[in-house]
Structure 1
Amino acid sequence: MPKIIGGSLHEHREQTRQKLFAALSTLMAEQGFDAVTLAEIAQAAGVGRTAVYNHFPDKEALLLGFITHETEQYAATLQRSLDDIDDPVEQLRTYVRQQVQLKRVYHLAPGPELRSVLSRGTQQRVREHVAVVEVILRDILTAGIESGAFPQQDLEVTVPLVNACLSGRGVPDDGPERERAIEQTEQFVLRAVGALAPVPA
């Protein structure tokens, strides 16, 4: 019987999953998802290959588990950062900053883009996890519209447009250029949802 890590079987399973997620994240950043094998992930995680199958039936399932975990952690952190802010405009500023600074390992990994190597079912499941964060943005915009901070608008259009802008936005790693890029992105989004008057031409 394999040695139990932690004080219980539940802790052991959770710690093994965390090791697998960390290994997948590191290997994806180095090689890309398509090039990584389950055997390499197991070796990097320091677990037996058969142990991987006790948690995930295949590599795509492992990726989904990783994305689910990362999304839940991020959404909880994001929500905590918004809890003490009452002004919808300031909430939106915070949301933009958090989203711009988020490291999307599964988008930035080398190799083919994930959409081109995942099955249709897995692509849909990945999309569902993006929706977890979209709910937070939708709540901010709804509160802003109700308070009059933002004009009436179709959130079915606005929410994906804002998130597409933020998820595709690369910012410099450091220095004044980074802060300037984040500030300009913030201003762009605020103008786009009608929180700020357009800059005169």
Structure 2
Amino acid sequence: MPKIIGGSLEQHREQTRRRVFDALSTLLGQRSFDALSMADLAAEAGIGRTAIYNHFADKDAVVVAFASAETDRYLARLDSALERADGPADAMRIYVTEHMDSSEEFHFGFGPELYGMLSRESVAEIREHVVAVESVLRGIIDDGVAAGVFTVDDVTSTMSLVHSCLATRRVAPGAVVTFVLRALGT
């Protein structure tokens, strides 16, 4: 009988999943996704080679579950921060700052190389999580336009441009906030 980690079966499952996610992050820093096996993930996570299949069907399932967990954690943090927003411009400031401040803590994307190796179904599942984050930004922009605070002709293009600004790593968050707010006509 395998040893249960944590005080309950639920805690065991969560801790095991977290260990596998940490292993995935570590191993992807060392080699490509196609060079990883489920046995590699299990060994790095410190769990049995067959036990990993009690939690994940395959490598794609690990990536999808990891993306889901990261998105859920990020959205919880973002929602909490946005509760203190005083209007759309402040909400945009918080959105940009939170995204940039948390880029080291959260994995916002694995890159096109990894996505190209996943099944279409897995990519579609991951896309659902991206849409959840995008819906927060869309809501902020829509609120700003409705309040007359933002001048936006095309919300979808504006969302892409805002997210492009957030991809930079060499610019101070304050400079990005100022740029985005000016671009929105604030």
User: TM-score interval w.r.t. the shorter chain?
Assistant: 0.7 to 0.9
Q: Aligned partners of 1:91 and 1:38: how far apart in 2?
A: 41
Deviation at 1:79, TM superposition (A): 1.1
Deviation at 1:25, TM superposition (A): 1.3
Q: Does structure 1 residue 183 correspond to structure 2 residue 174? A: yes
In the superposition, relative to structure 1, how do residues 108 and 124 fare at CA in structure 2: closer, same or farther (>3 Å)?
closer
Indicate if the aligned counterparts of 2:22 and 2:45 stay in contact, CA closer than 8 A. yes
Partner in structure 1 of residue 114 of structure 2: 114
Indicate if the aligned counterparts of 1:23 and 1:41 stay in contact, CA closer than 8 A. yes
4+ runs deviating over 3 angstroms: 103-109
Deviation at 1:89, TM superposition (A): 0.7
For each residue in 1:70-115, what CA deviation from the matched residue of structure 2 results, as whole angstroms up to 9, or x when unmatched?
A: 0100011011111111221121012112223313646467xx7222
Partner in structure 1 of residue 168 of structure 2: 170
Deviation at 1:21, TM superposition (A): 0.9
Partner in structure 2 of residue 90 of structure 1: 90
Instruction: Structure 1: give runs of 5+ residues left out of the alignment.
Output: 173-177, 196-201
Indicate if the aligned counterparts of 1:107 and 1:114 stay in contact, CA closer than 8 A. no
- Within-5 A mapping of 1:131-142: 131-142=131-142
Kindly provide the amino acid, as one letter, of the partner of residue 27 in structure 1: L
The DSSP-based 3-state class of the residue aligned with 1:68 is: helix
Partner in structure 1 of residue 55 of structure 2: 55
The DSSP-based 3-state class of the residue aligned with 2:125 is: helix
In the superposition, relative to structure 1, how do residues 35 and 107 fare at CA in structure 2: closer, same or farther (>3 Å)?
farther
Backbone CA RMSD of aligned residues: 2.0
Indicate if the aligned counterparts of 1:28 and 1:106 stay in contact, CA closer than 8 A. no
Indicate if the aligned counterparts of 2:152 and 2:184 stay in contact, CA closer than 8 A. no
Matched residues, number: 184
For each residue in 1:22-75, what CA deviation from the matched residue of structure 2 results, as whole angstroms up to 9, or x when unmatched?
A: 111111122232322211110111100111111110001001000100010001
Q: Aligned partners of 1:108 and 1:129: how far apart in 2?
A: 13
TM-score computed with the length of structure 2 as normaliser: 0.88
Kindly provide the amino acid, as one letter, of the partner of residue 146 in structure 2: E
Kindly provide the amino acid, as one letter, of the partner of residue 26 in structure 1: T
Q: Does structure 1 residue 154 correspond to structure 2 residue 154? A: yes
Kindly provide the amino acid, as one letter, of the partner of residue 168 in structure 2: G
Indicate if the aligned counterparts of 1:20 and 1:42 stay in contact, CA closer than 8 A. yes
Q: Aligned partners of 1:72 and 1:105: how far apart in 2?
A: 12
The DSSP-based 3-state class of the residue aligned with 2:56 is: coil
TM-score computed with the length of structure 1 as normaliser: 0.82
Q: Aligned partners of 1:108 and 1:100: how far apart in 2?
A: 17
Q: Does structure 1 residue 75 correspond to structure 2 residue 87? A: no
Partner in structure 2 of residue 16 of structure 1: 16
Kindly provide the amino acid, as one letter, of the partner of residue 122 in structure 1: S
Kindly provide the amino acid, as one letter, of the partner of residue 171 in structure 1: R
